[in-house]
Chain A
Amino acid sequence: MTTFVLMTITGMGLAALYFLVASGLSLIFGLMHVLNFAHAAFLTLGGYTAWLVAGASGSFLLGIVVGMLVAAALGAATETGLLRRMHGDHVPQVLLTVGLLLAFTALVRAIFGSDARPMPTPAWMNQVIRVLDAPIPNSRFVLIAAAIAVWVVMTIFLTRTRYGLIVRAGVENRPMVTALGIDVRRAFTLVFALGAGLAALAGSLVAAVQGAVSPEQGMTLLIFAFIVVIIGGLGSFHGSALAALLVGLLQEYTNFYAMVGMGDLVVVLLLAGVLLTRPQGLLGRRLV
């Protein structure tokens, strides 16, 4: 029972990370039809900015906030300065984000070296709380709390604000929104900046949980985030939340109860199964 509780909460922590990365990816894809590889770059950027700021100021929270702001600003700049130039050509846009990811990872490696750097994490994050006798590190609760907060804020944003309405309408039928005289491109920039900020949040939290930052951190998480996005349904915000929970828990349970590494394979099989039986994903709309 104790291990089951431990596995469940750890799995939820993992799910929280997947959700933070995947929700932004999913909205960007839903609205702009761009598979954004640069998301991993924003993740790494968030981790390293948090590391730098936390190291200089001693405040971990300040590191996270600055990391998110920097990534959001860079995300907005990427969208307006580079992606917009492709005029909605999807494949070149994907290629562009691939190039950005490769160049950015190499830049980080050139400046900070390819070895992992230890992250100054506040001591309370590594202390444990006993839940039903299972010792759970506080960092897991931070992950889950962050994901729930993001989920609540984003849900309010998407359902209660004008821009949220435009984003949802744009995901559903972009030509119609444009035809109604609304400049969807501003929503693009907004969603891109939001997604980058969330990726940076995930990046700094990963760094805190693992206790280190490294240049390749982003790419590893990105592949699972892609899987989560597809399973949840491209463009579906709640779908990515559901899929993140499913994938995180499944991965954690299988890795523990079956065999280490098995969980990752099971997730891939789950993806194949979902694609073959329900290609639009769990909560996605059928793509035309």
Chain B
Amino acid sequence: MTSVEAATRAQEEPSSAVAGTGGPERRPVRRWVIAGVLVALAVALPYIPLRIPVLFDGPVNGPGALHLLSLMFVMAAIAMTYDLLFGYTGLLSFGHHLYVAIGMYTTVVVLGETDYGLGAALLAVLVLGLVVPLLLGSICLRVSGIAFAMVTLAFAQAGAIFVVRDPFRITGGELGLAIAYQKLPERLVGVFNAPYRYWLALALLVLVVVAVRWALSSRPGRVWPAIRDNEPRVAVLGLRPYTFKLQVFVLSSFLATLAGAVYAVVVGGAYAEVTHATFVLALLVMVVLGGTGRPYGALVGGLVYTYLVHRLGALSSAVQDLPAAVRAPLMEPLLILGTLFVLLVLFLPGGLVSLFRRPGPNVRDRLRRALRRKDAE
């Protein structure tokens, strides 16, 4: 695995993920150790009665904090699947939330409307998560660029209209649907079982991280950044960009559908907000916030964004003696996040992750790119 990764790194385009990883080939072992320790810590968290005063209300292993962390994990997983499309392959999709919604609603509707249990719901999610992206992807990918963004948005909008108008009386319209609790395993229901939902979300996140890293180091995974950087050249090399784009579209949408199913369990239902275009804009903000097309950019962005959306209001009320004129805008997390996003796009295009990297690789990349441009001339 590690040697494959190293070989991949060496072959990737200089402007791609390498800008973030940059390190020498010895590093992977250390990186696996760090990742292992982090995961072990996360797994053990429900047993640690730690109190972090401002960051969380109550202990970190209390139900409130664990619920917030579960949401953060699910969102980070979805953001990573989105980055696979946007950051690594350069496909700007405005329809990614459709697949999250499909996962959510399929789970809830199968449990609520049929006699089948969680296994059947999961099977339905897996099947739909493959078939729908394959179908819609093969249509959408016939156009590219802004037209692709628009046609994906249009299909997602069709999904949103379907959910809100609810012609078959199954989706609950604007109000949404609560999950059929009695059909879930007991461990996943109720305030006291928050740790189990937390572990479920963590498992999803680990699965998505591993799947995304694995896919990116596979053979087609090396073509995706090439398509982003120079699609005509990929075509000239005798590869069909369409096939590769469809692969990454299906993979990313499939993982998003899966994340949607877990999301339904974590929030206890399916809600129409997921189908709104605002959701995909939030994904876009997460990915850019963390850093697009960088190994852990979307992960960091998803965690930070979700945390801030839920906690900015509480954080600002923790600061005493704020005049009302300042407090009111602070209660709108999207105002701060939107402004932050604009500033990031203007001044830190590499996202948060790029803050923690040595400037070295970037300068080297720039030099290498400049030399190559000279060669081309």
Is B truly associated with A? Answer: yes
Is A125's beta carbon under 8 Å from chain B? no
Q: Could you list which residues of chain B lie within 8 angstroms of chain A, going by C-beta atoms?
A: 92, 139, 142-143, 145-147, 149-151, 153-155, 157-158, 161-162, 164-165, 167, 277-278, 281, 284-285, 288, 328-329, 331-335, 337-339, 341-342, 345-346, 349
Q: With a 10 A CB-CB cut-off, give which of B167, B329, B331, B345 has the most chain A CB atoms.
A: B345
Contact of B167 among A82, A259, A272 (CB under 8 A): A259
Residues of A within 8 A of B338 (CB): 99-106
CA distance A40 to B151 in the complex (A): 19
With known contacts A35-B146, A95-B345, A107–B162 Cβ distance under 8 A: no
Residues of A within 8 A of B331 (CB): 110
CA distance A95 to B331 in the complex (A): 24
A103 with B342: CB separation less than 8 A: yes
With known contacts A99-B285, A103-B342, A223-B153, A279–B334 Cβ distance under 8 A: no
In the complex, the chain A residue whose C-beta lies closest to that of B166 is A261
A102 with B337: CB separation less than 8 A: yes
Contact of B150 among A82, A226, A276 (CB under 8 A): A226
Is A172's beta carbon under 8 Å from chain B? no
In the complex, the chain B residue whose C-beta lies closest to that of A259 is B167
Total number of residue pairs linking A and B with CB closer than 8 Å:
123
Residues of B within 8 A of A86 (CB): 345-346
A106 with B335: CB separation less than 8 A: yes
Q: Which of A188-239 contact B (CB under 8 A)?
A: 219, 223, 226-227, 230, 234
Stretch of A3-11, A136-144, A154-162, A263-271 contacting B (4+ beta carbons < 8 Å): A263-271
A29 with B146: CB separation less than 8 A: yes
CB B163 to nearest CB in A, in angstroms, measures 10
B277 with A223: CB separation less than 8 A: yes
B147 with A219: CB separation less than 8 A: no
Is A122's beta carbon under 8 Å from chain B? no
Q: With a 10 A CB-CB cut-off, give which of B149, B277, B288, B342 has the most chain A CB atoms.
A: B342
CA distance A99 to B286 in the complex (A): 11
B92 with A265: CB separation less than 8 A: no
B161 with A264: CB separation less than 8 A: yes
In the A-B complex, the 4 residue pairs with the closest CB atoms:
A103-B338, A261-B165, A102-B338, A106-B335
With known contacts A98-B285, A99-B285, A268-B155, A230–B334 Cβ distance under 8 A: no
In the complex, the chain B residue whose C-beta lies closest to that of A109 is B332
In the complex, the chain A residue whose C-beta lies closest to that of B333 is A106
CA distance A264 to B295 in the complex (A): 39
CB A125 to nearest CB in B, in angstroms, measures 29
Q: With a 10 A CB-CB cut-off, give which of B139, B284, B338 has the most chain A CB atoms.
A: B338
Is A275's beta carbon under 8 Å from chain B? yes
B285 with A94: CB separation less than 8 A: no
CB A270 to nearest CB in B, in angstroms, measures 9
B162 with A272: CB separation less than 8 A: no
Contact of A103 among B153, B154, B339, B349 (CB under 8 A): B339
Some 5 contacts from A to B, beta carbons below 8 A apart, are: A29-B146, A102-B278, A110-B328, A219-B278, A261-B165
Q: Which of A76-106 contact B (CB under 8 A)?
A: 82, 85-86, 91-92, 94-96, 98-106
With known contacts A92-B345, A100-B342, A275–B161 Cβ distance under 8 A: no
Contact of A82 among B284, B329, B334, B342 (CB under 8 A): B342
Residues of A within 8 A of B147 (CB): 230, 234, 275, 279, 287
Is A260's beta carbon under 8 Å from chain B? yes
Residues of A within 8 A of B342 (CB): 82, 96, 99-100, 103
CB A96 to nearest CB in B, in angstroms, measures 5
Residues of B within 8 A of A96 (CB): 342, 345-346
B157 with A106: CB separation less than 8 A: no
Is A111's beta carbon under 8 Å from chain B? yes
CA distance A227 to B277 in the complex (A): 14
